[in-house]
A = this chain, B = another copy of it.
């Protein structure tokens, strides 16, 4: 049994990791930590996890490391930076769910307004999108687990950018997300009464996930790709629906597009290409699937992508990465 620890176990992503790992056949959960006034049984903090009776207390890195092989960091951006480095030094594998190891230092510093204290680790870090980087993930010691929007968008676009089929400057990404994506924190903007009857755009073309999306699309396309990206906050708990518009630079039929996607994801158990209908978030929430649908409209193509932001967009993908790193079945614990 692989011994795993979760640092930041009380956030929405941390709890989702607890849920998945506690029913994973190859894993023993050895430690849960979080910032708490006093240590508490996890199933007292969260009574739905009836059988998880580990004590959750504040992080002591040495102690956690003594009894684990692999650690998940479900921490706010910039908090992981140092903690990841210390677990690595102690010989532990690290899957970091924050943005701290996803971007080159100078881009990270620009978007996250923080000095990157461990640029030397960036070359070790593997961007943990298994559909693109499975071979590298197998060898990785440090995984930079992708953001939720980037997962939603990159999976929707990878087949087209890989083929160089996207017309310059034609790309528009309009995403809608549930509230859990903002994290479990006291914030007036996340107050039930502020959110419940509202639809709004936010951080229009200034969201911190933009450089991550642009980085991966640019790699796929072998040229610099800029995006227009509008995230919207929707009164649901979970789920991201991305509606993506673009023009193609060659003629292609709806059927060829479908086959292109089917082929591209033929080895990807968690990407489902829909025929004749389009994705909706209720078909993917609580699952690790990304469902993709495409529709040709005049000279444009609309790609719609649905994921659960906490599963395929965070904890589920992290476990998928762990499965690949550790030689388990890729889908173990995730079906």
Chain A residues in the interface with B (C-beta under 8 A) = 12, 23, 44, 46-48, 50-51, 169, 172, 174, 176, 178-180, 184-188, 190-201, 204-205, 226, 228, 230, 232, 234-239, 241, 243, 245, 272, 274, 277-287, 289, 291, 295, 297-300, 302, 304, 306, 335
**Contact B291 A237, beta carbon cutoff 8 Å:** no
List, in ascending order, chain B residues with CB within 8 A of A282's CB: 48, 194, 197-198, 200
List, in ascending order, chain B residues with CB within 8 A of A243's CB: 174, 201, 230, 232
| Contact with A298, one of B178, B228, B232, B241 (Cβ below 8 angstroms) | B228
**Contact A192 B287, beta carbon cutoff 8 Å:** no
**Contact A287 B241, beta carbon cutoff 8 Å:** no
List, in ascending order, chain B residues with CB within 8 A of A201's CB: 241, 243, 278, 280, 304
**Contact B287 A48, beta carbon cutoff 8 Å:** yes
Q: How far is the CB of A42 from chain B (nearest CB, A)?
A: 13
**Contact A47 B197, beta carbon cutoff 8 Å:** no
**Contact B280 A200, beta carbon cutoff 8 Å:** yes
**Contact A197 B274, beta carbon cutoff 8 Å:** no
**Contact B50 A289, beta carbon cutoff 8 Å:** yes
Give the nearest-CB partner of A49 in chain B: B283
**Contact B302 A228, beta carbon cutoff 8 Å:** yes
Task: Name 18 A/B residue pairs within 8 A (Cβ), A-sorted.
Answer: A46-B283, A47-B272, A48-B283, A169-B299, A172-B300, A176-B199, A180-B193, A184-B191, A186-B188, A191-B192, A196-B237, A197-B239, A197-B282, A199-B281, A200-B280, A201-B241, A205-B297, A232-B241
List, in ascending order, chain B residues with CB within 8 A of A191's CB: 179, 184-187, 190-192
**Contact B188 A188, beta carbon cutoff 8 Å:** no
**Contact B47 A274, beta carbon cutoff 8 Å:** yes
